[in-house]
Amino acid sequence: MRGELEVAVGTYDELSRADQYLLDQAKEVRDKAHAPYSHYRVGSAVREKSGITATGCNVEVYTYTQTGHAETNAIANLVAQLGPEIELVAVAVVGGSESESMAWPPVPESGAVTLEEMAFCCGNCLATIGEFVSPAGVKLIDVFRGHICQVMFANALPVSFQKRHLMGE
């Protein structure tokens, strides 16, 4: 049984210029990923409420456990730019096997994308996003077979332990 997961599916052209720019940045930094073991390259771009953005890519380490994820690296770069009081409003992720070609701007393939094939941020990255979530929430934007999929952070991790529990909110 699966609960209601609100995912919006659309096209690149339907995005705002700010969200297109964020996805473009994620795609660009993906090319810099260090993924010699998984061959799965991920780029992420994050936007703060001020409009300022930062990027990160996955950086694999031969010990595996020290591997850095694109989203957490992007957030660390944003904190390095602006300090610890950042409030995230959007996180874009572009990932996939390095053997797959990816048209850009993305062109939707025929057929609907399914929840099973969607891969938004991992639980570890979601928790890091949760550390800096803005009061208005954080929009997660990802690309699957050329379709743009969006889900709000609160819907991506609905029943998990979150910062508000620790803060008594």
CA distance 31 to 54: 15
Q: In which element (H, E) is residue 21 found?
A: helix 17-30
Burial of 111 (0-12, 13-18, 19+ CB in 10 A): exposed
Q: Which is nearer to Zn ion, 20 or 131 (CB)?
A: 131
68 secondary structure, DSSP code: B
Minimum CB separation of residue 33 from Zn ion in Å reads 13
Least distance in Å: CB of 130 to Zn ion? 13
SS3 (DSSP) at 112: coil
Closer Cβ to Zn ion, 35 or 108, answer by number: 35
CB of 128 to Zn ion, least distance (A): 8
Q: Which of 27, 30, 47, 69 binds Zn ion (CB under 5 A)?
A: 69
What's the token pair of residue 47? 């936007």
Q: Which stretch binds Zn ion (CB under 5 A): 45-53, 62-70, 86-94, 144-152?
A: 62-70
Which region, left, alpha or beta, applies to residue 107 given φ > 0 means left and ψ of -120 to 50 means alpha?
A: beta
Residue at 21: amino acid letter: Y
Residue of 18, 107, 122, 136 interacting with Zn ion (CB under 5 A): 122
**By C-alpha distance, which of 20, 69, 11, 9 is closest to 47?**
20
Contact between 26 and Zn ion per CB under 5 A: no
How many residues bind to Zn ion according to rule CB under 5 A?
A: 4
**Region binding Zn ion by CB under 5 A among candidate stretches 24-32, 59-67, 115-123, 157-165:** 115-123
Of 23, 35, 125, 156, the residue at the interface with Zn ion (CB under 5 A) is 125
Kindly list the residues in this chain that would bind Zn ion in the complex (CB under 5 A): 69, 122, 124-125
